[in-house]
Amino acid sequence: MAFTLDELVSRFGGVVIGDGACRITGLAPLDQAGPNQLSFLANPKYLSQVETSGAAAVLITSAALDKIASREGRSFLVVANPYAYFARVAQLFLALAQPPEPSGIHPTAVIDPSAVIAASASIGAHVVVEAGAVIGERVRLDAQVFIGRNAKLAPDVHLYPRVTVYHGCTLGERVQIHSGAVIGADGFGFAPDFTGDGGEWVKIPQVGAVRIGPDVDIGANTTIDRGAMADTVIEEGVKIDNQVQIGHNCRIGAYTVIAGCTGIAGSTTLGRHCIIGGAVGIGGHLTLADRITVAGKSSVTKSLTKAGVYSGTFPAIESSDWNRNAALMRNLDKMRARLKQLEAAVNPTR
257 and 168 in a common domain:
yes
DSSP-assigned states of every residue in 65-131: HTT-S--TT-EEEE-S-HHHHHHHHHHHHHHHHSPPPPPEE-TT-EE-TT-EE-TT-EE-TT-EE-T
Cβ-contact 22, 37 below 8 angstroms: no
202 and 302 in a common domain:
yes
Average pLDDT score over residue span 49-69: 93
**With 70 as the cut, is the pLDDT of residue 315 above it?**
no
Range of the domain at 75: 3-97
Which one-letter amino acid corresponds to residue 344?
A: A
185 and 147 in a common domain:
yes
335 and 266 in a common domain:
no
SS3 of 46, please? helix
Question: Is the Cα dihedral 51, 53, 54, 60 positive or negative?
Answer: negative
pTM of the complete model = 0.86
pLDDT, residue 350, reads 66
Instruction: Average the pLDDT over each of 36-40, 161-165, 312-316 and give the range with the smallest value.
Output: 312-316
Query: Which residues, including other chains, have CB under 8 Å from residue 346's CB and lie 6 or more apart?
Result: none
CATH number of 11's domain: 3.40.1390.10
**With 70 as the cut, is the pLDDT of residue 275 above it?**
yes
Q: Contacts from 275-283 at CB under 8 Å and sequence distance 24+?
A: 278/241
pLDDT, residue 322, reads 81
191 and 147 in a common domain:
yes
Tens of pLDDT, residues 156-168: 999 999 999 999 9
Q: Contacts from 47-53 at CB under 8 Å and sequence distance 24+?
A: none
336 and 205 in a common domain:
no
Helix (H), strand (E) at residue 195 = strand 190-195
**With 80 as the cut, is the pLDDT of residue 12 above it?**
yes
> Which one, of 264, 229, 269, 225, lies nearest residue 248 by Cα?
225
Within a domain: 287: yes
300 and 324 in a common domain:
no
Average pLDDT score over residue span 331-335: 89
Average pLDDT score over residue span 282-297: 96
Which one-letter amino acid corresponds to residue 197?
A: D
Tens of pLDDT, residues 192-235: 999 888 899 999 999 999 999 999 999 999 999 999 999 999 99
Q: 161 burial class (0-12, 13-18, 19+ CB within 10 angstroms)? A: middle
Packed helices 82-97 and 5-12: angle between N→C axes, nearest 10 degrees: 100
Average pLDDT score over residue span 318-345: 87
Q: Which of 68, 97, 126 is the last residue of a domain?
A: 97
Average pLDDT over the chain reads 94
Average pLDDT score over residue span 29-38: 94
> Which one, of 147, 109, 153, 155, lies nearest residue 131 by Cα?
147
pLDDT, residue 51, reads 87
Q: Which of 97, 123, 139 is the last residue of a domain?
A: 97
SS3 of 342, please? helix
pLDDT, residue 1, reads 81
Q: Could you give the number of structural domains in the chain? A: 3
55 and 90 in a common domain:
yes
271 and 201 in a common domain:
yes
Catalytic-role residue among 167, 248, 273, 285: 248
Within a domain: 88: yes
Within a domain: 315: no
Within a domain: 331: yes
- Is position 248 annotated as part of the catalytic site? yes
**With 90 as the cut, is the pLDDT of residue 325 above it?**
no
Give the rounded percent of residues in the chain with a pLDDT score beyond 90. Answer: 81
CATH number of 253's domain: 2.160.10.10
Give the rounded percent of residues in the chain with a pLDDT score beyond 70. Answer: 99
Within a domain: 146: yes
237 and 176 in a common domain:
yes
